[in-house]
Structure 1
Amino acid sequence: MTAYAIGNLRPPARLDEQVFEYMERIQSTLDPFGGRFLVHNAVLDVREGEWPEALVIIGFPGIEEARGWYDSAAYQELVSLRADHIPGDLVLVDGVGDGYDAGHTAAAYRAMQAGTPAAAA
């Protein structure tokens, strides 16, 4: 199942040279883990709420590859080039499998809530 590294970054108006070096070198850290950029420096069309930051999404074949990339010596050598100059948040997350149906998830949550004392009251 596909997994993702999702970054919510807050870049300054002017980027430091270290950030450019990070951007020039990151792909070589992704390649051994099957990682590829899915969203990078895209214009966001915010429909709900606020999103003043930049969004980065990197896809991986699975969560183990995503973890392997982040924990790798090659990426750990680079991460401070970005993190020290662009604050933000990064999560690794599993995607949903083929055939996922949100209606089934809603039914499971509904059943769980019906079985709780608070829902029965």
Structure 2
Amino acid sequence: MTHYAIANLQNVQLGADIADYLARIDATLAPYDGHFIIHGKQPEYLEGEWAGTLIVIEFPDRASVLGWYESPAYQAILPLRTKNSDGITMVLEGVDRSHKATDVLA
């Protein structure tokens, strides 16, 4: 089942470290078939407000997202982000196209 690496970043200090992180992250995703599906766009608010910047990276499965996050290549660049931003990151399993809202009640 598709899994997602999700981050909500705040207080991002744009500079050389973040530029280096951005220049190198795509190469760390490729071996795990990861790709950005939400990154760097400003939301159009319909209800309420969101603090921070939402990033969502799609992976084919849980093993791939964890493999990427724990990989030496990603761990090498991770401090470039964590030392220059605040936020949370998580892994979340997606649902398939047949999912109905009431499925969570089962």
User: Is the TM-score greater than 0.5?
Assistant: yes
Superposed structure 1 runs of 4+ greater than 3 Å apart: none
Deviations 1:46-99 (A, max 9, x none): 223321211100000011100000000100000000110011110011101241
Match of 1:8 in 2: 8
TM-score (norm 2): 0.92
Match of 2:62 in 1: 63
Shift in Å, 1:32: 0.2
Q: Which runs of 5+ in 1 are unaligned?
A: 109-121
Deviations 1:30-49 (A, max 9, x none): 00000000011011122233
Shift in Å, 1:102: 1.4
Inter-partner Cα distance in structure 1 for 2:32 and 2:57: 11
In the alignment, structure 1 residue 104 sits paired with structure 2 residue 85: no
Higher strand content, 1 or 2: 2
TM-score (norm 1): 0.82
SS at match of 1:100: coil
Inter-partner Cα distance in structure 2 for 1:105 and 1:26: 34
Match of 1:112 in 2: none
SS at match of 1:30: helix
SS at match of 2:30: helix
Match of 2:93 in 1: 94
Inter-partner Cα distance in structure 2 for 1:55 and 1:92: 13
- Percent identical residues: 37
Inter-partner Cα distance in structure 2 for 1:58 and 1:36: 5
Which of the two has higher C-alpha Rg? 1
Two-structure CA RMSD over aligned residues (Å): 1.3
Match of 1:79 in 2: 78
SS at match of 1:64: helix
Match of 2:49 in 1: 50
- Say which is worse superposed, 39-48 or 87-96, in terms of deviation: 39-48
CA contact (8 A) 1:11 1:54 kept: no
Return the structure number with greater relative CO, CA threshold 8 A, min gap 6: 2
Match of 1:115 in 2: none
